Structures are given as C-alpha cells and as structure tokens.
C-alpha cells in the first residue's frame, strides 16, 4: 500500500492509540483545524473545569479563595506542579502566572544586571517580535541604548539558526541570553542543552521562551541547568485564549529578589499580614506579581489531565509521525506548484510545518474558504500544525488534497494577497 494514500491514512488512524482523545475536543464543524500552534481547541474537560470554577464563584463568593474543589489561593501552585513534568522542572521550580511577555519582563528585570563589560543582551533575529520589544524595553530601563546593547544573532537562510553562531556570540560583554526553544516561523528546535552548557561555561545567565514547544516537545530544564524559562498555555496546552502563562526558575536562584515585586510573590502564610516589608516565597512562586486570573487558569485544570495520561514522549512521537506523513504527502502531491519547505526535514522540527509560497496570503484565505484553518506568517509562510491530541492522519491527507485542488484550479486567485488583521 502506498504511504501517501487515503487508505494508508485510515490504517494509521486505526492503529493510533490517541484516536479516542479526538472525541475529547470540540472540533470545528466541517473544518480541518491546522492552527493548534496558534490557539489550541477547547476540550470538554477544560470546559467542565471552567464551569466548575464559575459555579464556585457563584456559590462560595469570597470563600472560593480557600474552599471548594480547587481553592483559588493555591491554584497557581497547583497548576505549576502539573506543568512541571512538561518542562522537566521540579514542582518547586514552576508556577502558573502572568503571560509570556510579563513573565519575560519579570525574568529580565530579575537577572539583567549590566555591570562593567557585561552590559549586553543576546537574542536572535528570528525571535517573535514581542520578546524583542520586551528586551529593548528592559535595556532602556537601564539607561542604555538597545541599538548598542541588544545583540541579535543572524540567520544564514532567514529561517533557521546555527547553534555554533549563537555560541560564538556568547562573548565576555554578554550579561544575559534569551532564546526561543522552537522558532515560531520555521519550527526549528534549538539544542537547548548544548546552548545552556555553553552559557554556563561562560558564566552567562540563559533563559528560553517555550511558547512553541511546551506541550509538543519534551524538555529537561532542571537537568540541563537552564536558569529560567517562560511560556504561554493557549497553543499546544489548549488553555484557551489569553490563558495564564508559565514560568520556570532554577532552584539555584531561589532567594534572589524579583525584579518586579508584587504581593502574590509573598510567602503564602504571610501574604495577608499586610506588612510593608515583603517576605517572599522560597520557590518559583516568588516571581508572581499580581492576583491570579482564576477563570483563565481554570481550563488548564482539565486540559493538563490529558498530558498527564499520555506523557510527553508519546505526544512527541505522534506529533513527528503526523508531520512526517504531511511532508510525504506534500512531496508526492505538490511538487509542481512552487512550494518551498521552510522547516527542518529531520526531527529537529517542532509541532508545525512551514510551507513557503509567494502567494501565501491568498492561499491561506482559499484554504479557509475550503474548510482548512491554517496560519499565515508574512511574507510568504503557511504554517500547518497537525496536533497529536486531536488531529488525525486523514486530516493531514485531506488538507494536502484540498491544497492541491486550490493550486490546480487557481482558486487562490479569487483572493487578494494581503493578510487579515489577525494573520
């Protein structure tokens, strides 16, 4: 049997132990969802937990902070404990708090201390713009010029990064390094272990943005001795739009004062003492700032259950099988339509693929009109993310067939080559 046929896809689905989990999610009607790396789908478990927390507010009012099935006061720690295995951290090293960018600001304000020769921040030119905006802002707070003090490692091909070039940029004037774990456009997985080891050898603090890897790629942050990491929970973790982010702080740094202090970083037994001298928590909780957004935490109570049941190794295995099958179908069906492959072809890719085409914006609009939900990334990128928990191999086969029809029949020419407000 050919490995690029509908029949083969159905065989793979029959053999897939993840198949029952597809029923856990609200799949868009008559659509194939390939944008789970931007926003994961709602699961029935997440919905149930959200309603439970709303009911707690309704029935217990303020007593919901300390009573009920999931007392709000301890929820950030509870969810942090459950996210710890996903990033390879100790429970004490992980907390659910803030958002990706606020957590980055917290970490940089805590660890960036320009002194003497060491005044520069090291990042890369392919990082998500929000991270770069935050780094530029933190440099300005120190009274320095981002043009001089923010180093961005260049990409040779505009898609991927060479770890050797990153290490070469770890010079004696670098005070702090912030890198993505997975590049948001090409899906390249950086060698975090090697980069961390190189930073340690040079006595440089290093942290990673895990937004495009958490829930898709296994991590071992504590074992690798990473200093800090931060991430969102609304992509592969399916926590919902604007769900509360995650933060890892290596236990070596416990006791270091948070750069941005707030009352939820207090020792929880003393938080309501209302003393103007803060007694900080002795774990990652010390880096919280404000009151947790309880209703934005609630869905994670349900969505994380599936990650606990399946484990990251199995999720990664299924993810790679899905993207490998998609690459095979693309190679077999789309060779004559001038598509480029922008992601690594080996296992150093994350949970999504990047197709490149000069008409990408029009093609994405045509895909949506034909019932496939992709993600456009300027100037020429079509990101497709078959997610292990809810996408099938038949989804993958159908997506490529629809894309082939769009190109064969010039369907995309009905649309303007411009992105929407939300790409």
Q: Is residue 287 part of an annotated ligand binding site?
A: no
Check residue 422 and give its pLDDT.
65
Q: Based on the fold, state whether residues 264 and 390 are members of the same structural domain.
A: no
Q: Based on the fold, state whether residues 96 and 237 are members of the same structural domain.
A: yes
Task: Specify the length of the chain in residues.
Answer: 423
Among 263, 294, 309, residue at a domain's last position = 309
Which two tokens mark 180?
A: 């993505």
Which two tokens mark 415?
A: 């649309």
Check residue 274 and give its pLDDT.
87
Q: Which three-class secondary structure state does DSSP give residue 175?
A: strand
Q: Is residue 129 part of an annotated ligand binding site?
A: yes
Domain annotation covers residue 36: no
Which two tokens mark 121?
A: 């921040």
Q: What is the pLDDT of residues 141-166, one digit of tens each?
A: 999 999 999 999 999 999 999 999 99
If we measure between CA atoms, which residue out of 240, 238, 245 comes closest to residue 79?
A: 245
- Output the CA angle 72-74-77, nearest 5 degrees: 130
Q: Is residue 212 part of an annotated ligand binding site?
A: yes
Does position 321 have pLDDT exceeding 80, yes or no? Answer: yes
Domain annotation covers residue 316: yes
Rounded distance between C-alpha atoms, residue 330 and residue 350, angstroms = 17
Q: What is the pLDDT of residues 227-258, one digit of tens each?
A: 999 999 999 999 999 999 999 999 999 999 99
Q: What percent of the chain lies above the pLDDT cut of 70?
A: 99
Among 309, 327, 358, residue at a domain's last position = 309
The C-alpha torsion from 47 through 53 and 54 to 58, rounded to 10°, is: 150
Q: Based on the fold, state whether residues 252 and 267 are members of the same structural domain.
A: yes
Q: Based on the fold, state whether residues 181 and 330 are members of the same structural domain.
A: no
Q: Which CATH number characterizes residue 25's domain?
A: 3.90.1150.10
Q: Based on the fold, state whether residues 166 and 291 are members of the same structural domain.
A: yes
Q: Which of the four pLDDT bands, split at 50, 70 and 90, describes residue 4?
A: confident
Q: Based on the fold, state whether residues 253 and 321 are members of the same structural domain.
A: no
Q: What is the pLDDT of residues 373-393, one digit of tens each?
A: 999 999 999 999 999 999 999
Q: Based on the fold, state whether residues 284 and 300 are members of the same structural domain.
A: yes
Q: Which of the four pLDDT bands, split at 50, 70 and 90, describes residue 395?
A: very high
Q: Which three-class secondary structure state does DSSP give residue 54?
A: helix
Mean pLDDT along residues 186-205: 98
Check residue 421 and give its pLDDT.
61
Mean pLDDT along residues 120-127: 98
Check residue 1 and give its pLDDT.
60
Does position 3 have pLDDT exceeding 90, yes or no? Answer: no
Domain annotation covers residue 92: yes
- Helix pair angle (129-141, 100-111), 10° resolution: 30
Among 309, 330, 356, residue at a domain's last position = 309
Beta pairing, strands 381-384 & 375-377: antiparallel
Rounded distance between C-alpha atoms, residue 354 and residue 378, angstroms = 12
Q: How many CB atoms sit inside 10 A of residue 329's CB?
A: 24
Write phi, then psi, for 3 (nearest 5 degrees).
Answer: -85, 5
Q: What is the pLDDT of residues 256-311, one digit of tens each?
A: 999 999 999 999 999 999 899 999 999 999 999 999 999 999 999 999 999 999 99
Q: What is the average pLDDT score of the chain?
A: 97
The C-alpha torsion from 267 through 271 and 277 to 279, rounded to 10°, is: 0
Which two tokens mark 138?
A: 């933190």
Does position 110 have pLDDT exceeding 70, yes or no? Answer: yes
Q: Which three-class secondary structure state does DSSP give residue 266?
A: strand
Q: What percent of the chain lies above the pLDDT cut of 90?
A: 97
Rounded distance between C-alpha atoms, residue 276 and residue 410, angstroms = 67
- Cβ-based burial of 43 (10 A; exposed 0-12, middle 13-18, buried ≥19): buried
Which one-letter DSSP state was computed for residue 33?
E
Q: Based on the fold, state whether residues 66 and 151 are members of the same structural domain.
A: yes
Rounded distance between C-alpha atoms, residue 290 and residue 293, angstroms = 9
Radius of gyration of the chain, Cα coordinates, nearest whole angstrom: 22
Does position 2 have pLDDT exceeding 90, yes or no? Answer: no
Does position 423 have pLDDT exceeding 80, yes or no? Answer: no
Q: Which of the four pLDDT bands, split at 50, 70 and 90, describes residue 100?
A: very high
Rounded distance between C-alpha atoms, residue 245 and residue 375, angstroms = 22
Rounded distance between C-alpha atoms, residue 199 and residue 196, angstroms = 5
Does position 118 have pLDDT exceeding 80, yes or no? Answer: yes
Q: Is residue 130 part of an annotated ligand binding site?
A: yes
Q: What is the pLDDT of residues 57-99, one digit of tens each?
A: 999 999 999 999 999 999 999 999 999 999 999 999 999 999 9
Q: Based on the fold, state whether residues 177 and 117 are members of the same structural domain.
A: yes
Rounded distance between C-alpha atoms, residue 406 and residue 404, angstroms = 5
Write phi, then psi, for 142 (nearest 5 degrees).
Answer: -80, 5
Domain annotation covers residue 40: no
Q: Is residue 395 part of an annotated ligand binding site?
A: no
Q: Which of the four pLDDT bands, split at 50, 70 and 90, describes residue 416?
A: confident
Does position 419 have pLDDT exceeding 90, yes or no? Answer: no
Lookup result for tokens 């008409």 = 359
Domain annotation covers residue 375: yes
Q: Based on the fold, state whether residues 291 and 324 are members of the same structural domain.
A: no
Check residue 411 and give its pLDDT.
97
Q: Is residue 128 part of an annotated ligand binding site?
A: yes
Give the total number of structural domains in the chain: 2
Q: How many CB atoms sit inside 10 A of residue 264's CB?
A: 21
Q: Based on the fold, state whether residues 131 and 269 are members of the same structural domain.
A: yes
Q: Is residue 234 part of an annotated ligand binding site?
A: yes
Q: Which three-class secondary structure state does DSSP give residue 150?
A: strand
Does position 418 have pLDDT exceeding 80, yes or no? Answer: no
Domain annotation covers residue 278: yes
Q: Do 150 and 139 meet the contact criterion of CB atoms below 8 Å apart?
A: yes
Domain annotation covers residue 1: no
Q: Is residue 209 part of an annotated ligand binding site?
A: yes
Domain annotation covers residue 208: yes
Q: Based on the fold, state whether residues 198 and 282 are members of the same structural domain.
A: yes
The number of angstroms, rounded, from the C-alpha of 414 to the middle of its chain's C-alpha atoms is 34
Which one-letter DSSP state was computed for residue 41?
P
Which one-letter DSSP state was computed for residue 334?
S
If we measure between CA atoms, which residue out of 399, 311, 393, 320 comes closest to residue 22?
A: 393
Question: The domain containing residue 70 runs over which residues?
Answer: 48-309
């Amino acid at each position: 049997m050919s490995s690029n046929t509908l029949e083969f896809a159905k065989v793979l689905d029959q053999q897939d132990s993840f198949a029952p989990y597809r029923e856990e999610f609200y799949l868009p009607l008559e659509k194939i969802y390939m944008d789970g790396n931007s926003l994961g789908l709602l699961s029935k478990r997440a919905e149930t937990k959200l309603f439970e927390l709303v009911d707690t507010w309704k029935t217990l009012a303020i007593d919901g902070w300390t009573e009920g099935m999931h007392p709000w006061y301890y929820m950030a720690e509870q969810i942090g404990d459950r996210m710890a295995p996903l990033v390879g951290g100790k429970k004490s090293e992980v907390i659910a708090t803030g958002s990706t960018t606020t957590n980055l600001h917290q970490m940089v304000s805590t660890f960036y201390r320009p002194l003497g020769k060491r005044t520069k921040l090291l990042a890369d030119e392919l990082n998500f713009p929000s991270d770069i905006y935050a780094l530029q802002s933190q440099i300005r707070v120190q009274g320095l010029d981002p043009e001089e003090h923010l180093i961005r490692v260049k990409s040779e091909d505009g898609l991927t990064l060479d770890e050797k070039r990153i290490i070469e940029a770890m010079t004696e004037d670098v005070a702090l390094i912030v890198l993505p774990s997975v590049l948001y456009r090409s899906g390249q997985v950086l060698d975090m272990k090697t980069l961390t080891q190189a930073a340690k050898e040079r006595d440089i603090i290093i942290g990673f943005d895990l937004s495009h890897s958490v829930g898709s790629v296994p991590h071992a942050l504590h074992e690798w001795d990473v200093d800090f990491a931060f991430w969102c929970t609304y992509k592969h973790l399916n926590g919902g739009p604007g769900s509360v982010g995650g933060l890892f702080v290596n236990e070596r740094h416990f006791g270091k004062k948070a750069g941005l202090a707030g009352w939820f970083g207090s020792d929880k037994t003393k938080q309501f003492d209302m003393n103007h001298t803060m007694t900080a928590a002795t774990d990652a909780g010390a880096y919280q700032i404000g009151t947790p957004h309880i209703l934005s935490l609630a869905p994670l109570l349900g969505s994380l259950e599936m990650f606990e049941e399946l484990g990251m190794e199995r999720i990664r295995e299924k993810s790679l099988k899905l993207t490998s099958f998609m690459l095979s179908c693309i190679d077999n069906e789309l060779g004559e339509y001038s598509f480029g492959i922008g992601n690594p072809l080996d296992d150093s890719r994350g949970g999504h693929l990047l197709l490149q085409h000069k008409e990408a914006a029009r093609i994405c609009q045509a895909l949506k009109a034909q019932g496939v939900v992709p993600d456009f990334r300027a100037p020429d990128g079509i990101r497709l993310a078959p997610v292990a928990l809810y996408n099938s191999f038949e989804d993958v086969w159908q997506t490529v067939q629809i894309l082939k029809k769009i190109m064969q029949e010039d369907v995309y020419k009905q649309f303007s080559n411009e992105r929407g407000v939300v790409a």
